[in-house]
């Protein structure tokens, strides 16, 4: 039975890379009715962001993924399991106590020097570090890249496994992840490429603890379109931020799972259920995928159009102008549904329904004053204010004067909406109502 885990560290807001790792681990397990474990790796207390735990859990469940088991490493640490394992490794000679100050460590779990000065000092307490053997080849088969990867042990640092007393004797990632993967009977580990340097250390820990290592696969790095690895500096990749920008979950999900995985056919549209059903680890791609926002916009537009008008009204509400009348949003929805790529595009397409536009008169084209004043007269005389009547009346006016249809409607559009890009203008005028339309024409003619 396949058992996978998503093991985020709550050090910040979840981003696309987290969602991708989680979705792949979930699909790998669920494709064959296996188990999916959510494990919070919170033993790095310096970088711990308490609210991140809930946000990560919400991300997993909001995207529809249900975990079968849930663990928190800091809680497990209270039972002393990691400490016991580390001490056992010291007893067996695979690890040693180190009394260098934490300042000397480059960063969490990694040593500064290849061979630690404390390794043969036989201290009886301190942080516990792994004694990396000399002249060994450390190899595993990466199931994502589908190839063997080998390190020379002489290039691997004596990494920290258990922190010293002043750091609460908490395990580092290297010890906690390996022990947990074993105890939780994880069969397949999937994680980001940046964790590759940890893998030889983990392989030794598994070996020294007498455990069979799970299958391990590293996921490709998502590249930004300007080149280089996608990062906060290169635009928003946080899931929360993307949702704030008006991207739907369905679109974010569909876009993300195709960053590094592809089905056998060229199919592009996947819900979570479709993805689980179709998932095949052979579909992992070896080249780094590129975060292409246009593609994300395309998915978003697609999923927006799959919504019913009622669903879309609800989704649009937070993006509509402040205090916007919901029934007005309702009336406008069918006009913008095919036009917006993001929910946040709504105000730029339909803000004029809710507030008086600022009209830049330099946008008007030929004969605007004549056209608008005559339009005002015929529209004022109109009794039945609906799209068909409005259209027929204006067409008659255009024909009578021999105006260019496109020019006339552009001038009307600018006068009523303040913009050159709006939903169809006669539909818009019909929804806006007679009073407001006439008022706006009068304002423009002043």
In the complex, the residues that contact ligand GLU under the rule CB under 6 A are 7-9, 41, 177, 191, 195
Measured between alpha carbons, how far is 209 from 188 in angstroms, rounded to an integer? 18
Per the annotation, binding residues for ATP are 232
Nearer to ligand GLU, 7 or 242 (CB): 7
Q: Minimal CA–CA distance to 132: which of 174, 171, 73?
A: 174
Choice between 232 and 380, CB closer to ligand GLU:
232
**Least distance (Å) from ligand GLU to the CB of residue 214?**
10
* Residue length of the chain: 446
The distance of closest approach from Cβ of residue 177 to ligand GLU in the complex, given in angstroms and rounded to an integer, is 5
Can you tell me whether residue 186 is helix, strand or coil?
coil
Give dist(CA 403, CA 412) in Å, integer: 13
Give the span between the Cα atoms of 325 and 257, in whole angstroms: 37
Q: Which is nearer to ligand GLU, 11 or 386 (CB)?
A: 11
Q: How far apart are CA 296 and CA 254, in angstroms?
A: 9
Identify which of residues 156 and 201 has a Cβ nearer to ligand GLU in the complex.
201
For 297-329, b where at least 16 C-beta lie within 10 A, e where not — what string?
bebbbbbbeebeeeebbeebeebbbeebeeebb
State how far the alpha carbon of 107 is from the alpha carbons of 89, 113, 233, 370, in Å.
Answer: 22, 12, 22, 73
The conformation of residue 6, written as its DSSP 8-state character, comes to E
d(CA 421, CA 413): 8
DSSP 360: -
Could you tell me which residues are annotated as the binding site? 98, 100, 118, 120, 232
| Chain centre distance of CA 341 | 17
Nearest distance from C-beta of residue 7 to ligand GLU, angstroms: 4
Q: Which of 141, 184, 145, 138 is nearest to 6 (CA)?
A: 184
Nearer to ligand GLU among residue 7 and residue 376 (C-beta): 7
C-alpha pair distances (Å), 426 with each of 385, 407, 410, 416: 11, 14, 11, 11
CA triple 66-69-75, angle to 5 deg: 130
41 or 158: whose CB is closer to ligand GLU? 41
User: Closest distance between ligand GLU and the C-beta of residue 353, in Å?
Assistant: 45
What's the closest the beta carbon of residue 176 comes to ligand GLU, in angstroms? Answer: 9
Cβ atoms of residues 40 and 71 within 8 Å: yes
For 379, phi then psi, to 5°, come to -70, -35
435: which residues sit within 8 A by CB, 6+ positions away? none
DSSP-derived 3-state class of residue 141: strand
Residues in the annotated binding site for Zn(2+): 98, 100, 118, 120
To the nearest whole angstrom, how small is the minimum distance from the Cβ of residue 14 to ligand GLU? Answer: 10
CA distance 86 to 171: 8
177 vs 304 by CB, closer to ligand GLU: 177
Given the complex with ligand GLU, which of 7 and 100 has the nearer CB atom?
7
CB of 257 to ligand GLU, least distance (A): 18
Q: Please, what is the minimum distance in Å from the beta carbon of residue 12 to ligand GLU? A: 10
Rank residues 55 and 397 by Cβ distance to ligand GLU and give the closer one.
55
User: What minimum distance in Å lies between the beta carbon of 130 and ligand GLU?
Assistant: 17
Choose between 20 and 191: whose C-beta lies nearer to ligand GLU.
Answer: 191
CB of 191 to ligand GLU, least distance (A): 4
Rounded distance between C-alpha atoms, residue 165 and residue 161, angstroms: 13
| Exposure letters 339-359 (e unless 16+ CB within 10 A, then b) | bbbbbebbbebbbbbbeebeb
């Amino acid at each position: 039975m396949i058992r996978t885990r998503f093991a985020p560290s709550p050090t910040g807001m979840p981003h696309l890379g987290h969602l991708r790792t989680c979705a792949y681990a979930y699909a790998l397990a669920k494709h064959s009715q296996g188990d999916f474990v959510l494990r919070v790796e919170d033993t790095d207390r310096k970088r711990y962001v308490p609210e991140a735990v809930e946000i990560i859990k919400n991300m997993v469940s909001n995207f529809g993924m249900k975990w079968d088991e849930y663990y928190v490493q800091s809680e497990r640490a209270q039972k002393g399991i990691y400490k016991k394992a580390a001490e056992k490794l010291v007893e067996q000679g695979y690890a040693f106590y180190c009394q260098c100050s934490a300042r000397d460590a480059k960063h969490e779990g990694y040593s500064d020097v290849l061979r630690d000065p404390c390794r043969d000092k036989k201290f009886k307490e301190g942080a516990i570090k792994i004694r990396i053997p000399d002249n060994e080849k450390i190899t595993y088969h990466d199931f994502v890249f589908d190839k063997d990867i080998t390190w020379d042990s002489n290039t691997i640092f004596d990494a920290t496994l258990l922190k010293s007393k002043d750091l609460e004797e908490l395990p580092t990632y290297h010890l906690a992840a390996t022990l947990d993967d074993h105890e939780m009977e994880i069969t397949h580990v999937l994680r980001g490429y940046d964790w590759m340097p940890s893998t030889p250390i983990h392989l030794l820990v598994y070996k020294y603890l007498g455990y069979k290592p799970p299958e391990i696969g590293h996921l490709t790095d998502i590249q930004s379109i300007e080149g280089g690895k996608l990062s906060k500096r290169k635009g928003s990749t946080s899931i929360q931020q993307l949702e704030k920008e008006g991207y739907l979950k369905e679109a974010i999900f569909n876009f993300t799972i195709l960053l590094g995985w592809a089905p056998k056919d060229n199919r592009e549209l996947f819900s979570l259920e479709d993805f689980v059903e179709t998932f095949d680890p052979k579909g992992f791609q070896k080249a780094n995928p590129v975060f292409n926002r246009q593609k994300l916009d395309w998915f978003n537009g697609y999923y927006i159009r799959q919504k019913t008008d009622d669903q879309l009204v609800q989704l649009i509400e937070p993006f509509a102008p402040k205090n916007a009348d919901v029934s007005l949003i309702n009336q406008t929805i069918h006009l913008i549904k095919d036009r917006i790529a993001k929910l946040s595009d709504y105000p730029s397409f339909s803000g004029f329904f809710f507030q008086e536009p600022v009209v830049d008169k330099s946008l008007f084209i030929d004969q605007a004053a004549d056209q608008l004043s005559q339009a005002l007269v015929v529209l004022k005389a109109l009794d039945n204010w609906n799209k068909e009547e409005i259209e027929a009346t204006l067409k008659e006016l255009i024909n009578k004067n021999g105006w260019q249809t496109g020019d006339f409607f552009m001038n009307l559009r600018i006068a009523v909406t303040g913009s050159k890009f709006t939903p169809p203008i006669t539909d818009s005028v019909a929804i806006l109502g007679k009073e407001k339309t006439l008022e706006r024409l009068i304002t423009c003619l002043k």
